[in-house]
């Protein structure tokens, strides 16, 4: 029997799994590894992990026998049934008090179920979001753990050691909450990532079509943007992308087909928003924008049939327009994060979780794809007021929106004038205008619903919670619908 000297075991040696193992090794932790395709274990040990203290196992049983107690087994496999199958393979070799960690992009409801099911068997479960891609996993990701809190003390040291650190050394990892809270926060992170990427792409197309800017000019603009309010990983890598040339010396970006892929977490965020009745419109539009991009052949055909304004270069004040676009991007980004936090507030209430909103901003401050200086401002807002209802109501963000509002509108207006699609910019502004409007036209909507379905309505001159029905035509009865949803 092999000696149990390993601190943690990891199953799944794809890119993220391998890099997390090497990260743990760098921080002095001895890791036992296993992969369903067993040959990959030996390949890893002979290549990327050569010279490390990583120990390879050729079966789940062998891997578990190498682990100190309580055993910590981290699973890095494709979300869904494969996670459940892997858990079933591991369970026979675990004892009460051992810990299973799912580090993939699992749906939070699956993590809710797994936490409860494994607790009934005496096993502690953690469902953790891990963000940062290949580089983050290797040198410091953002880690968002949730599940059975009894497990947290047993993994806290490892997770916080390998996580990214902010300027003062604070790790971008802390306990998120019970059951599927960790994976839910990671899901919202990914949804916001969809929104950030779409907003940047719209800014790019608006300046490309509106100003005729070259890739080198974009590189310079984005490099400059990254020095100010938009300082972030995605702006930084965009600047690098613009500078990359193909073998023939032309911009690499121009050679890439305009059809976007997705793995589903943005869709999950939009579905959850609908389930919770939260107007997370920007993430939804970002998902739909990817779906529209996939209709490449249809769009090519439509471009020959459907007319729109000519994309003439009408902007004379180039520098001023670039600044308008920058401000529009910043304002839209504020709305995107405000909507994401609205969703976190709603799920916290629905699931009876206790989420540390400022702590989540700190976890996203480094290591992850949406890391940015901007998240420090979000953390400051929640530090100032932990019960803050909406980020738009914090002075820092409301001042910025009030200051930049006209630039935001000018950028969108010009996009409309030259036929540039701006679904994320536009929905962000529409939400902002809706949120700041004291009286929306939903009174007419409710009258219509009551007219055709007797769905009832509330009155402005009566207390909230009292519902009324009008016989609009004189032919209807006094019976009203028994259900009402605000």
Q: Which residues are catalytic?
A: 186, 193
Instruction: Output 301-309 pairs: Cβ under 8 A, ≥24 positions apart.
Output: 308/419, 309/417, 309/418, 309/419
By CB atoms closer than 10 A (0-12, 13-18, 19+), residue 438 is: exposed
From CA 485, how far away is CA 70, in angstroms rounded? 48
**Structure token digits, residue 246:** 């193909």
Q: Residue 468 forms beta bridges with which residues?
A: 457
From CA 130, how far away is CA 60, in angstroms rounded? 23
With vertex at residue 398, the alpha carbon angle to CA 394 and CA 403, rounded to the nearest 5 degrees, is: 155
Contact 105, 265 (CB under 8 A): yes
DSSP assigned state of 150: G
Residue 397 neighbours by CB distance under 10 Å: 21
Q: C-alpha 366: how far from its chain's center?
A: 14
Inter-helix orientation angle 318-351/281-293, to 10°:
110
3-state helix, strand, coil in the chain (%, to 5): 55, 10, 35
From CA 26, how far away is CA 475, in angstroms rounded? 78
Beta strand extents in 278-318 (DSSP E only)? none
> Residue 12: which of 71, 89, 66 has the closest Cα?
89
Sheet bearing 8-11, strands edge to edge: 55-56, 31-34, 8-11, 72-75, 99-102, 124-131, 142-147, 177-178
Phi, psi of 284 (to 5 degrees): -60, -45
From CA 100, how far away is CA 411, in angstroms rounded? 49
Written as one string, the DSSP assignment of 334-353 is HHHHHHHHHHHHHHHHHHT-
From CA 23, how far away is CA 48, in angstroms rounded? 12
């Amino acid at each position: 029997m092999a000696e149990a000297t390993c601190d943690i075991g990891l199953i799944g040696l794809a890119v993220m799994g391998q890099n997390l193992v090497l990260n743990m090794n760098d921080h002095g932790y001895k890791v036992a590894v296993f992969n369903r395709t067993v040959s990959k274990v030996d390949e890893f040990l002979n290549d990327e992990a050569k010279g490390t203290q990583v120990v390879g196992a050729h079966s789940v049983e062998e891997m578990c026998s190498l682990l100190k107690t309580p055993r910590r087994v981290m699973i890095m496999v494709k979300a869904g049934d494969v996670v459940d199958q892997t858990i079933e393979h591991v369970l026979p070799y675990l004892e009460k008090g051992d810990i299973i960690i799912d580090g993939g992009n699992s749906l939070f409801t699956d993590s809710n179920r797994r936490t409860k099911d494994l607790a009934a068997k005496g096993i502690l479960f953690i469902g953790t979001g891990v963000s940062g891609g290949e580089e983050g996993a290797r040198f410091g990701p953002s880690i968002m753990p949730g599940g059975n809190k009894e497990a947290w003390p047993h993994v806290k040291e490892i997770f916080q050691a390998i996580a990214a650190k902010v300027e003062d050394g604070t790790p971008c990892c802390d306990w998120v909450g019970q059951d599927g809270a960790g994976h839910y926060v990671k899901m919202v992170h990914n949804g916001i990532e969809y929104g950030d990427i779409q907003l940047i792409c719209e800014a790019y197309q608006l300046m490309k079509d509106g100003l005729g800017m070259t890739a080198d000019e974009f590189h310079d603009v984005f490099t400059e943007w990254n020095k100010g309010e938009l300082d972030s990983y995605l702006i930084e890598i965009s600047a690098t992308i613009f500078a990359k040339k193909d073998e023939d010396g032309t911009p690499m970006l121009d050679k890439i087909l305009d059809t976007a892929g997705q793995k589903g977490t943005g869709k999950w965020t939009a579905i959850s928003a609908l389930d919770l009745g939260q107007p997370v419109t920007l993430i939804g539009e970002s998902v739909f924008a990817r779906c529209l991009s996939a209709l490449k052949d249809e769009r090519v055909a439509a471009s020959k049939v459907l007319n729109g304004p000519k994309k003439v270069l009408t902007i004379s004040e180039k520098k001023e327009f670039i600044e308008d676009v920058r401000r529009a991007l910043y304002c839209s980004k504020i709305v995107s994060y405000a909507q994401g936090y609205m969703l976190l507030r709603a799920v916290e209430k629905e699931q009876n979780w206790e989420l540390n909103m400022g702590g989540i901003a700190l976890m996203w401050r480094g290591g992850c794809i949406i890391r940015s200086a901007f998240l420090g401002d979000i953390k400051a807002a929640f530090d100032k007021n932990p019960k803050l209802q909406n980020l738009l109501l914090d002075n820092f963000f409301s001042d910025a929106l009030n200051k930049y509002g006209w630039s935001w509108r000018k950028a969108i207006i010009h996009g409309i004038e030259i036929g540039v699609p701006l679904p994320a910019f536009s929905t962000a502004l529409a939400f902002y205008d809706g949120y700041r409007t004291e009286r929306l036209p939903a009174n007419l909507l409710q009258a219509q619903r009551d007219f055709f379905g007797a769905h009832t309505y509330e009155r402005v001159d009566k207390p909230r919670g009292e519902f009324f029905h009008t016989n609009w035509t004189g032919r209807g009865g006094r019976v009203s619908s028994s259900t009402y949803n605000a």
